[in-house]
Structure 1
Amino acid sequence: MQALYFLIDTVFTLYIWAIIISIVISWLVAFGIINTHNQFVYNISYALNRITEPALRPIRNLLPDLGGIDISPIILIIALQFLKVFILHDILLPLM
């Protein structure tokens, strides 16, 4: 049961880090610090976008237009943290 606990915790943590890295890369591209014409940067950006966009798109559709400010990653990270605590401490921990 501890292995399942560790696996769920690790998956949630890695996905949250993927969201954070995706945000940072999008800012670096937007400010012209890195260029997507570089194949390595493009591949990393594309992979992170494919991983995070399916979870971010429904949140973006629900939020009103905030004038260029995208708070959907923050909402997703908060929701993932809530789910992680709920699953690990309220569901799995009593079973151990």
Structure 2
Amino acid sequence: MRAVLDVVLLALQLYTWLLIAMAILSWLVAFNVVNTRNSVVAAIWDFLIRITEPVLRPIRNMLPSMGGIDISPIILLLIIFFIQRVIVLYLYPSVY
């Protein structure tokens, strides 16, 4: 059972890094540092959108309009950190 919890923790950590990469890439695209017409950037952008958008969309629907500021990745990161802490502090010690 600990192996399953380790895999879940690893998946949550990987998803955290994907969210951070998505936020950084969205800033770079917004400030015209990188261009989505580049095929490599477009492929990375498409991959990150497909991975993060299904989870971020319900959070965006629940949040009120903030005038162009998207805090849904921060909310999702807080949820992920909470789940990780619950696993480490409560589930992991009780499993042999």
Work out whether 1:40 is the aligned partner of 2:44. no
TM-score of the superposed pair, with normalisation by structure 2: 0.93
Tell me the C-alpha RMSD between the 2 structures.
1.2
Percent identical: 45
Q: Which residue of 2 aligns with 1:9?
A: 9
**Cα offsets for 1:4-63 (capped at 9, x unmatched):** 232121110000000000010010000000000001000001001100001100010011
Inter-partner Cα distance in structure 2 for 1:45 and 1:84: 27
Q: Unaligned regions of 5+ residues in structure 1, if any?
A: none
Number of residue pairs matched?
96
Structure 2 runs not aligned, ≥5 long: none
**Cα separation, 1, equivalents of 2:22 and 2:28:** 10
- 8 Å contact from structure 2 (residues 19, 52) kept in 1: yes
Structure 1 length normalisation: TM-score?
0.93
Are 2:80 and 1:80 aligned? Answer: yes
